[in-house]
Amino acid sequence: MREIAVIRTGTANLASVLAGLTRAKCEPVLIDDPASVISADYVVLPGVGTFSAVMDELTALGLVEAIRQRINEARPTMAICLGLQVLGSSSEESPGTQGLGVFDARALRFDDGLPVPQLGWNRVHPEADCRLLCEGYGYFANSYRLDEVPPGWAGAMADYGGPFVAAIERGPVLACQFHPELSGQWGAALIDRWLAAAQESLSC
């Protein structure tokens, strides 16, 4: 059984993430120290709550550089929901708070007039160069989003009052705005594909 390290952000709904990984026949283990973030074979970065609360916790734990290093080294990592947004540089939700800066992108609130959070199922449309992402429905719970796939990443889009980034991938690194662990068989299959790609990268 594969051991999956899940970063304890202090704000995420860890129960659903841990249950989803257990259903994927993995053994999830909570971590909150830089050495474990860097050394673990597989890492999941979940996120629920506010951009500033997650970044404050990651900073207090000394995890910012460790997460950034891990992703820049293309080590198997999956970010979920707010976990995707904090990979960017900032968010309209928390002016003055810096993200992890893995790529230069600002998370923006959905346009006025749209009910927020977006809560429920939405269709995910992957770009042609995606290896992990495929067409299907993901379960979303978000008030903020990225509006463009960052350079150097493959991505998938969804639509809620206009197109927004549903997920991005680069090698064994996958970041989803939706919750794969809550997205039924389609989400479970995505987790399985990520694990297979991650295992392949570790074998090289």
Contact 171, 71 (CB under 8 A): no
Give the sheet arrangement for strand 163-170, strand by strand: 26-31, 2-7, 43-45, 77-80, 173-176, 163-170, 154-159, 118-126, 136-142
CA–CA distance, 159 with 124 (Å, rounded to integer): 8
From the candidates 26, 169, 176, 181, which is the catalytic residue? 181
Q: Is 132 helix (H, G, I), strand (E, B) or coil?
A: coil
Contact 63, 94 (CB under 8 A): no
From the candidates 81, 130, 169, 176, which is the catalytic residue? 81
**Known catalytic residue: 125?**
no
Could you list the active site residues?
Answer: 81, 179, 181
